[in-house]
Structure 1
Amino acid sequence: MEPNKKILLESGTNELEIVEFRIDERDSKGNVVPCYFGVNVAKVREIIRLPGLRKVVNAHPAVCGMIKLREQVITLIDLSRALNKNTEGIAAERVIVLEFNRVVVGILVHSVSRIYRISWENVEPPVKAIHDANITGVVKMEDRIILILDFEKIVGEISRSDALSRPSDELMLSDKSVNRAAKTILVADDSKFIRGTICDSLRGAGYQVVEAENGEDAWTQVTALREKAEGLGGDMSQVLNMIITDIEMPRMDGLHLTALIRKESGLDQVPVVLFSSLASDDNKVKWKNLGASDILTKPDLPNLVERADSLVL
């Protein structure tokens, strides 16, 4: 990882770097329309030209095949197919190799332009006019709009990852032997898909759950709960017992949210769990130093309730 990436992942500066790339499509008249997308640099391992493909039998329609990257064979996903774009006659020439959730995957795109360093404050939640669950953020540039994609959802649905499936009834019933009804957990994640999965797990186990769509929303709710606690004598545990937050979120990321919480008296003892696809062993150490009580990756979801119990009960 480059030195500047390390700084962004450990300092809580509320900044990120995105790789801008294009998926072009044809409109109803057959004209080529450029569409601009972005992905967090922290997920990008490398960018290469399209190598030779090995076809896969009975694969998902969006899977082109397998490619060999040095000694590793990885799945290649045609992003235009995953996004249902009409790209007839438009050649895709670049592969963005991503690594997250302990998975390495190649994403086939038409072109890659450049890297931008921006503040999460400039990443807006999708407007109501954008009815695409694959989009988690919008960056407005001078002459175009860059859409930030939810690659966890895209890859998870293609691979049908069990780690992001809804919790089973058997798991939720077994968890109800413990009384958690008096405990409140705030969950902040900009992906409705992942946030719903986390909240279902916690509610199924008996916890009271408050939801936030991004870090800024979470901070607003936390400060309101702190004021409520002050009216009850100042005991924060009466209104909030834990915070679970994603890192990549519009307006305010989870690292900046954690840093704010740790600076405030009355909040510094509230457990904060970072739930992120970027949780490598190296990043876990940095985030612990920032004040995180625990760090989970998306494949750890089956252990979520158990880990919450260890911090709350």
Structure 2
Amino acid sequence: MAGVMDSVDQRTQLVGQNRMELLLFRLGGRQLYGINVFKVKEVLQCPPLNAIPGRSSVVRGVAHIRGGTLPIMDMNQAIGRNPLAEIDKCFVIITEYNRSAQGFLVRAVERIVNMNWGDIHPPPTGAGKEHYLTAVTEVDGQLVEIIDVEKILAEVSPARESISEGIVGQGIADRVIEKYVLIVDDSSIARKQIQRVVEAMGIRTVLKKDGAEALEYLQGLLSAGKHPHDDLILIICDIEMPEMDGYTFTAEVRNNSALKDLHIILHTSLSGVFNEAMVKKVGANDFLAKFHPDELASRVSEHILAAGDSHLLK
């Protein structure tokens, strides 16, 4: 399995080309699942697990790995199915999401495939609201389901979503009356987390589920004779999304003379392997690792205050 992960650190050249790589794995049956390689730190045979009191049932235990202690979550159980049996024969995918490392127990790990984000699509509309999918794709004629890991983590260990006192300056909301923030993220959980923070600041929001949908929205405003600068304060955009990733979305915005000056914050759970050079290359204004409500609110406040009497506040 080490061979599968040997070249993970060399894959940053895919960034900015609307491409990504999926690590394919299986849970309790024949269905294939995928996870972005950029979020994977290591794959290993499941080590001995130690039970911890008061744990969520999804957490099968903790493991001592590379000098640290990591919670190991049963991916099959996390999406509402039976716990995986014979865990000593299972594998653990160690990931880094939202500034912390965690392990996900899976039945088997298959291989890495190179994909274009354009070939990765949002879940079917008939999937309902309670599904755990963030996207789907097809590999060698077989459906691959990409699980919304942020949804799992939010259920197992909910993040604080309230803003600490004193973070938001006085009168911030008064400066942006009738204006809004555009939130772009494929995870419904992540969209809601960001939305709650921004709206707690007294600012309206518009939500889009991927870069393609957000770009179409902005182009639609232009076609209707409206300039996004008139009402749009800034854009908070995830990086990895189906159809069009955040890098490509940012580059498309910068290449449009009518949109190029929009303020874009790339807000992503790819904190451990993020390529800061790509942020500069595509022209994003800022980068923020998910998810910390105080830092998010602070960055939004800073931009509003820095705008002063510019077009944002007229």
Shorter-chain-normalised TM-score: which range?
0.7 to 0.9
Alpha-carbon distance between aligned partners in 1 of 2:141 and 2:14, rounded to the nearest angstrom: 26
Residues 274, 292 of structure 1: 8 Å contact kept: yes
Displacement of 1:67 in angstroms is 0.8
CA spacing shift, 1:281–1:143, aligned 2, 3 Å: closer
Partner of 1:140: 138
Q: Which amino acid in the other structure matches residue 146 of structure 1?
A: V
User: Residues 190 and 266 from structure 1, CA distance in 2 versus in 1: closer, same or farther, beyond 3 angstroms?
Assistant: same
* 1:171, distance to aligned residue in structure 2 (A): 8.1
Is the CA contact 1:44–1:96 (under 8 Å) kept in the aligned structure 2? Answer: yes
- Residue number in structure 2 paired with 1:251: 243
Structure 1 residue 40, shift from structure 2 partner? 0.2
Task: Give, in angstroms, the shift of residue 158 of structure 1.
Answer: 0.9
* Structure 1 gap segments, 5+ residues each: 25-32
> 2:112 is matched with which residue: 111, 115, 139?
115
Matches within 5 A, 1:1-313: 2=8, 4-9=10-15, 12-24=16-28, 33-86=29-82, 89=85, 91=87, 92-131=89-128, 132-162=130-160, 165=161, 167=162, 178-179=173-174, 180-228=176-224, 231=225, 236-280=228-272, 283-312=275-304, 313=307
Q: Secondary structure at the match of 2:280?
A: helix
CA distance in 2, matches of 1:90, 1:51: 12
Distance 1:171 1:211, change over 3 A: farther
Give CA-to-partner distance per residue, 1:131-174, whole Å, 9 cap, x none.
Answer: 34421001123442111111122123212222xx3x36978997
State the identity as a percent: 29
- SS of structure 2 residue aligned to 1:299: coil
Cα distance, 1:261 vs structure 2: 0.8
Tell me how far 1:209 sits from its aligned partner: 1.8
Residues of 2 paired with 1:115 and 1:23: CA distance? 16
Unaligned runs of 5+ in 2: 1-6, 308-314
Range with bigger deviation, 137-146 or 177-186:
177-186
Aligned in 2, Cα 1:175/1:97: closer, same or farther, shift over 3 Å?
A: farther
* Change in 2 beyond 3 A, CA 1:177/1:310: closer
The residue type equivalent to 1:97 in the other structure is: I
Change beyond 3 A, Cα 1:225–1:23: same
Q: Is the 8 A contact 1:172 1:204 kept in 2?
A: no
Q: Normalising by structure 2, what TM-score? A: 0.86
User: Secondary structure at 1:136's aligned position in 2?
Assistant: strand
Which letter maps to 2:25? Answer: F
For 1:29, the equivalent position in structure 2 comes to none
Once the two structures are superposed, what CA deviation does each residue of 1:161-193 show, in whole Å capped at 9, x if it has no partner?
A: 22xx3x369789976654121432211111111
- Superposed CA RMSD in Å reads 2.5
Instruction: Output one character per residue of 1:42-83: Cα deviation in whole Å (capped at 9) or x when no partner.
Output: 000011011111111121101111111121111111112212
Contact 2:73 2:105 in 1 (8 A): yes
Counterparts of 2:35 and 2:166 in 1: how far apart (Å)? Answer: 34
